[in-house]
Amino acid sequence: MAMAGLADGSVRKRVVILGGGFGGIHAALGLAKMAVDVTVVDRKNHHTFQPLLYQIALAVLSPADIAQPIRSILREHKNMDVLMDEAIGFDVEQRRVKLKSGAELEYDFLVVATGSTHSYFGKDEWAKLAPGLKTIEDALEIRRRVLLAFELAERQMLETGHHPALNFVIIGGGPTGVELAGAISDISRLYMRKDFRHINPSQSCVVIIEGSPTILGAYPQDLQEAAMRQLKELGVQVRTGQHVTDVQPGYVIAAGERIDSVCTLWAAGVRASPLGKLLGLETDKKGSVFVNEHLNPPDHPEIYIVGDLAHFVQDGKQVPGVAQPAMQMGDYVAKRIGKLIGQDRGSDGPLRDKGFRYFDKGDMATIGRKAAVAKIEWPFKAHWSGFPAWLTWLVVHIFFLIGFRNRLSVFRQWAWTYLTFSDGARLITGSQELPGWEVQDGVYGMRGEITTRPLDLGSPKSN
Amino acid sequence: MAMAGLADGSVRKRVVILGGGFGGIHAALGLAKMAVDVTVVDRKNHHTFQPLLYQIALAVLSPADIAQPIRSILREHKNMDVLMDEAIGFDVEQRRVKLKSGAELEYDFLVVATGSTHSYFGKDEWAKLAPGLKTIEDALEIRRRVLLAFELAERQMLETGHHPALNFVIIGGGPTGVELAGAISDISRLYMRKDFRHINPSQSCVVIIEGSPTILGAYPQDLQEAAMRQLKELGVQVRTGQHVTDVQPGYVIAAGERIDSVCTLWAAGVRASPLGKLLGLETDKKGSVFVNEHLNPPDHPEIYIVGDLAHFVQDGKQVPGVAQPAMQMGDYVAKRIGKLIGQDRGSDGPLRDKGFRYFDKGDMATIGRKAAVAKIEWPFKAHWSGFPAWLTWLVVHIFFLIGFRNRLSVFRQWAWTYLTFSDGARLITGSQELPGWEVQDGVYGMRGEITTRPLDLGSPKSN
């Protein structure tokens, strides 16, 4: 079915952008002033500021603090259409996208920026037991589970006089795993402690299980070591070089050992959106599409792949699937399309474009409320850790990354919430069930051979 | 199973409070400084400021703005236990409450403040088609549906060139129905309009269907008429004296007529919590418990019923099930228990207590962003409508009703969000399905004989 409304007989080029993440939004904003008609398609109605998702998960911020309707972001630009829908197929020859709702969109340029999702390495049954963190919904589910684990332990303590060890197991030691671990540790010790009478949340133990030999694999060794030190200070137990072989309600098996868990979270694998394969393009094993210097897949100069979904190699290394490259790719594609249109109209002579180049300003991960590691590449090179890195993280996230909202308003609201750990965000909504917790002997609690511990029995179980 | 931790051999009286709404929280706070051990039990971990729930539903505020963990509210008071659980049975003779998790609580005084929920008048299958508004989850579901209706209409317009009439049908013309209607009308005209290219949200039509002859039945006639006028100015269609006989995906039948509906909401009946019946007490047909002047059911001076669940008659009239009486009842019960304890210890002589008396300060309902009706009883008597009533509503809700949070912080955050209608809150989370919308002829849209309308066809369908 043809698109009504777009096929208006004009010679304006039609750009379809799939995905409203960093890549898609930057491409759209870059095209806003150009003589093209743009349709942005996303399953969600909102763009999410993913680097702060873990703060939703840990009840520091509210969803509205870090997400914004895509319509609102693009509201001022009359050449933009926003469609809450999902691409499910392509006719690459005819340049058409088939949407889930049944409609088809025609395009002259297609920008595919649908990112990545969790990969459970073929163990999809683990998804319900160990949720990952990619969307607002994911974050609220993690929040629900973490907060509920404390509530259920308090209840079990009141009922039986003991409660399961408050182990929070995080599978994966990349930035997300480290940030979740630091934040859980912090809220347990600093804030939850005051709220409970019978359990002692500060005795909770956060465990990171990482398959490779180090955490934060993308960081230099000194920062990995700094992160290890800072995590240790927070009481986080890090197990590297251990592969998780089973995830069950209430426990995890890693390196042959059973680790009890009141709440298990997934921060390990990601896989690219399936659209690369749906387009019939060559992908790496993660599902990312191999692209050339202009971010085109082979033989398709009209298709651009940006963000996580692009397998782009620069100086012999693959550019990582994080926010900065995605934004820069989006910017680049908008400029590239602008140049191509200029060329089409004969205004510009031969197209001059050396291709995309990722400008790495650095990388950061927070570890709790006062520490972080920062690999700074610009405006100078440095490796920072501890409080200076955390301050840098704060400033960068407020002033550089939150680009298209009223920064002052976000800053005020966020700083307030962050500095006070305001109570409102620690809401549990939705179901009151947790995997591994059920009625046994007439009382609801964690099932199986759980490790229970009298209230005043010292430090966390160290396995 | 007996409660560990409470049966410590002391002579302190044990108070169990069921429900963390206005009644339960006020009772708990009133008991905070007394020599009693208090356990507050609620299914949710948070207290909700219900008078502003409709603003969550219409994406003005975020859940964290109007809800607060019960633990946090009571954190400072060492004699308070909070349990996220649910009463499912009683042994009134032995003074024990049985909880869903399997535990039992012993009490010397029991305060039952579990409020009310929606009643679909026996048509429980309507619940999925027309959600009501009692909890944060309800509010987020209503938000999802209202915002999604616009998104789906935009999509259908793009795909087919027409879209269903944007009728939002609200069943029930009490304060909740009126507030929802005003808010939907306002956001359609003022805010959504700018976000959509193909549909015109300002052409949406809000319909209130009320079975009785007037809306706002609890208000005096002049204010009912003022509300009618103000709703009419907002373009809201009010159908009084019409009973809804069927609710179907995509439409409603009222007074024998079919009214198409892209989104149907329920603001009609409520029924009391089932705990009155579980306690074996005499209730009215709504399920509320008949109580005496001390808020005790007959023959149970150790049981107090507060809030919606109490059927309390004063000056020949039943006290309404709204926030103010619930708070005052909670306060009263705390004082009453304090006196009884004093009497038990022989410090106070004969108990002097004339019984509970509801002090009615008035009642208010907003109608959109700039109008309201207010029946003021204190500190003077007056009937206000329009902007003065709205301003009064604003001041009262900020400064009087939000009692136990940092008022300044709430005020700032709320005023900011309210005055700017900040974008972040208009997030759609969860499923992308709506009753009545499905694939037909290969395209997703509203099913059945829907009334479609070309984009530029003037004012809303007036039936």
Q: Are residues B209 and B129 in the same domain?
A: yes
What CATH number has the domain bearing residue B164?
3.50.50.100
Residue B182 and residue B35 share a domain:
no
* Contact predicate A437/A444, CB 8 Å: yes
The alpha carbon of residue B316 is apart from the nearest alpha carbon of chain A, in Å, by 40
Residue B374 has phi, psi (to 5 degrees) of -135, 125
Please say which residue of B309, B344, B379 terminates a domain: B344
Q: Say yes or no: B36 and B147 in one domain.
A: no
The DSSP annotation for A289-303 comes to EE--TTSPPTT-TTE
User: What tens digit of pLDDT does each residue of B212-271 get?
Assistant: 999 999 999 999 999 999 999 999 999 999 999 999 999 999 999 999 999 999 999 889
The pTM of the full predicted model, rounded to 2 decimals, is 0.90
Mean pLDDT of chain B: 87
pLDDT given at position A452: 42
**What per-residue confidence (pLDDT) applies to B462?**
37
Indicate which of A84, A417, A419 best probes the interface with B, i.e. most B CBs within 10 Å of its own CB.
A84
Measured distance CA(B436)–CA(B446) in Å, rounded: 5
Give the β-pairing of B303-305 and B109-112: parallel
Residue A237 in any domain: the answer is yes
Does the residue B150 lie in any domain?
Answer: yes
Within 8 A by CB and 6+ apart from B215, the residues are: B173, B174, B177, B178, B208, B224, B227, B228, B231, B238, B240
Output helix, strand, coil percentages for chain A, rounded to the nearest 5: 35, 25, 40
Q: Give the total residue count for chain B.
A: 463
Which chain B residues are Cβ-neighbours of A67 within 8 angstroms? 424, 427
Report CB contact under 8 Å: B195, A65: no
Q: What letter does residue A350 receive in the DSSP assignment?
A: S
Tell me, yes or no, if B179 is annotated catalytic.
yes
CB A109 within 8 A of CB A302: yes
The region of weakest confidence among A397-411, B178-192, B385-399, B422-436 is A397-411
Residue A388 lies in a domain: yes
In eight-state DSSP terms, residue A117 is: E
Residue B352 covered by a domain:
no
Alpha-carbon gap, residue B251 to B259, rounded angstroms: 5
* Helix, strand, coil % over all residues of chain B, rounded to 5: 35, 25, 40
Q: Across residues B54-74, what is the average pLDDT? A: 85
Query: Long-range contact list for A229-232, CB < 8 A, 24+ apart?
Result: A230/A182, A230/A367, A230/A368, A230/A371, A230/A373, A230/A385, A230/A386, A231/A178, A231/A181, A231/A182, A231/A367
Residues 412-441 of A with CB under 8 A from B: 413, 416, 420, 422-430, 432, 439
Residue A227 and residue A282 in one domain: no
Nearest by Cα to A248 from A340, A321, A171? A171
Domain assignment present for residue B66? The answer is no
Q: Is there a single domain that holds both residue B134 and residue B93?
A: no
| Percent of chain B scoring above 70 in pLDDT | 86
Q: Which residues of B touch A425 (CB under 8 A)?
A: 64
Residue of A nearest to B72 (CA): A195
Domain that holds residue B434: 124-267+370-446
CA–CA distance, B271 with B289 (Å, rounded to integer):
12
What is the DSSP code (8-state) at residue B300? -
Q: Is A75 inside a domain boundary? A: no
Dist. CA B143–CA B164, nearest whole Å: 19
3-state DSSP assignment of residue B201: helix
Residues A238, A382 within the same domain: yes
In a domain, A26, yes or no: yes
Instruction: For chain A, 463 residues long, give each residue's pLDDT as a single digit of tens.
Output: 334 343 444 579 999 999 999 999 999 999 998 999 999 999 999 999 898 899 889 887 778 778 888 998 898 899 999 999 999 999 999 999 999 988 899 999 999 999 999 999 999 999 999 999 999 999 999 999 999 999 999 998 888 888 899 999 999 999 999 999 999 998 888 878 888 989 999 889 999 999 999 999 999 999 999 999 999 999 999 999 999 999 999 999 999 999 999 999 999 988 999 999 999 999 999 999 999 999 999 999 999 999 999 999 999 999 999 999 999 999 999 999 999 988 544 454 556 678 999 999 999 999 988 899 999 998 999 999 999 998 888 888 776 655 444 455 556 666 666 666 655 568 888 888 888 888 777 777 775 444 444 333 333 333 3
Cβ atoms of B111 and B18 closer than 8 Å: yes
Are B233 and B380 within one domain?
yes
CB-based contact (8 Å) between B194 and chain A? yes
Final residue of a structural domain among A326, A344, A362: A344
Chain A's closest residue to B412, CA to CA, is A413
Angle subtended at Cα A330 by Cα A327 and Cα A332, rounded to the nearest 5 degrees: 110
Q: Is the peptide bond before B379 cis (omega within 30 degrees of 0)?
A: yes
Tokens 């163990």, residue located:
A123
Where do runs of H (alpha helix) occur along A161-190? 175-187
**Residues A136, A137, A142, CA angle at the centre, nearest 5°?**
95
Q: CA gyration radius for chain A?
A: 24
CB of A346 closer than 8 Å to CB of A316: no
Cβ neighbours of residue B364 closer than 8 Å, sequence gap 6 or more: B372, B373, B374, B375, B389, B392, B393, B396
CB pairs under 8 A between A and B: 182
**Number of domains chain B contains:** 2
| Block residue for tokens 């207590």 | B353
Best of B156, B423, B439, B452 to substitute, by most chain A Cβ atoms within 10 angstroms, is B423
Q: Which tokens go with B140?
A: 């987020």
Cβ neighbours of residue A321 under 8 Å, at least 6 residues apart?
A: A115, A116, A270, A288, A307, A308
Do B4 and A63 lie within an 8 Å CB cutoff? no
Cβ-Cβ contacts under 8 Å, B420 against chain A: 409
Candidate ranges A180-189, A362-371, B107-116, B430-439; pick with highest mean pLDDT: B107-116
Kindly provide the residue ranges of all beta strands, DSSP E only, lying in B317-427, ordered along the sequence: 317-318, 362-367, 371-376, 382-385
pLDDT at A141: 95
Inter-chain contact A63–B62, Cβ cutoff 8 Å? yes
Contact B262, B446 (CB under 8 A): yes
**Spatial strand order in the sheet of A96-99:** A87-91, A96-99, A104-106
Within 8 A of A66 by CB-CB distance, chain B residues are 424
Q: What angle do CA B130, B131, B135 make, to 5 degrees?
A: 170
**Does one domain contain both A136 and A260?**
yes
Q: Residues A192, A261: one domain? A: yes
Q: What is the sign of the dihedral through the CA atoms of A318, A322, A328 and A334?
A: positive
B261, B381: one domain: yes
What CATH number corresponds to the domain at position B340? 3.50.50.60
Judge residue B370's burial from the number of C-beta atoms within 10 Å of its C-beta, 0-12 exposed, 13-18 middle, 19 or more buried.
middle
pLDDT band at residue B451 under the 50/70/90 scheme: very low
In a domain, B2, yes or no: no
**Same domain? B175 vs B213:** yes
The reply to whether B159 and B227 lie within a common domain is yes
Interchain pair A64, B195: CB under 8 A: no
